[in-house]
Amino acid sequence: NAGVTQTPKFQVLKTGQSMTLQCAQDMNHNSMYWYRQDPGMGLRLIYYSASEGTTDKGEVPNGYNVSRLNKREFSLRLESAAPSQTSVYFCASSTRPDREGQPQHFGDGTRLSIL
Amino acid sequence: AQSVAQPEDQVNVAEGNPLTVKCTYSVSGNPYLFWYVQYPNRGLQFLLKYITGDNLVKGSYGFEAEFNKSQTSFHLKKPSALVSDSALYFCAVRSNAGNNRKLIWGLGTSLAVNP
């Protein structure tokens, strides 16, 4: 049981390049999330998808887009990467929308550097 | 506004001694409270949660946490620390009221257990 799988694990981009971070979960979870983690700033929510077919902005959505491809997959796209987007990106999933108190399950992250 | 505070950036404890990692919160309505642990180069792992019921919650790896409504706190505890407990610990909170689906995360506390 793999849980939440993120690809790639590491990536270096040049300013202005685009890329898509992939996330897939095999736990049949309804809700999925994208976070970024920066030193001294904790976890910040970028986008989330409460269920298949829906997406909503989180705390820091600017510069990102998402696609909930199906129940398993939730991708994050950087259209024109900027150095400020250098971060560790985490995907998470949960079995129910947050208000029902279900914990989130995290992938091991994508470490993204933008030069 | 909802908020979480982890007042200590770092906690140092000797192996075998009890440990406490502090968390205080502010929410409207009743809180859902969570503790997660993050080991180096890994994603966050769920440790325990408080939704309702007994104020003392037991979780993974021998950790427990006590919900204190009057002090709006949810401190993480372990009777006897192990070197392998050294990691980054995050507290998170959400209200059970309204339509706000987002977890509010603390900034994390780095726990170092010294042999």
**Residues of chain B where predicted confidence (pLDDT) is lower than 50:** none
pLDDT value, residue B99: 60
Mean pLDDT computed over A84-107: 87
Nearest Cα neighbor of A33 from A114, A113, A102 is A102
Query: How much of chain A exceeds pLDDT 90, in percent?
Result: 82
Band the pLDDT of A1: cuts 50, 70, 90: low
**Which DSSP category does B9 fall into?**
S
Portion 75-114 of A in contact with B at CB < 8 A? 90, 92, 97-99, 101, 103-109
Contact B107 A101 (CB under 8 A): no
pLDDT value, residue B62: 95
- A61 vs B: CB within 8 A: no
A108: helix, coil or strand? coil
pLDDT value, residue B47: 96
Of B23, B28, B35, B44, which to mutate for an interface test with A (greatest number of A Cβ within 10 Å)? Answer: B44
Cα A31 to Cα A98: distance, rounded to the nearest angstrom: 8
Q: What is the mean pLDDT of chain A?
A: 93
Band the pLDDT of A44: cuts 50, 70, 90: very high
Q: Min CA distance, A41 vs chain B (Å)?
A: 6
pLDDT value, residue B98: 63
> Please, are residues B4 and B53 in contact by the beta-carbon 8 Å criterion?
no
> Please, are residues B32 and A101 in contact by the beta-carbon 8 Å criterion?
yes
pLDDT value, residue A98: 58
pLDDT value, residue B11: 98
> Please, are residues B83 and B62 in contact by the beta-carbon 8 Å criterion?
no
Q: Phi first, then psi: what are they for B58, rounded to 5°? A: -105, 145
Bin B108: left if φ > 0, else alpha if -120 < ψ < 50, else beta: left
> Please, are residues B4 and B25 in contact by the beta-carbon 8 Å criterion?
yes
> Please, are residues A105 and A18 in contact by the beta-carbon 8 Å criterion?
no
Residue A89 has pLDDT above 80, yes or no: yes
Question: DSSP string spanning A12-79?
Answer: EE-TT--EEEEEEESS--SEEEEEEEETTTEEEEEEEESSTT--EE-S--TTEEEEE-SSSBEEEEES
How long is chain A? 115
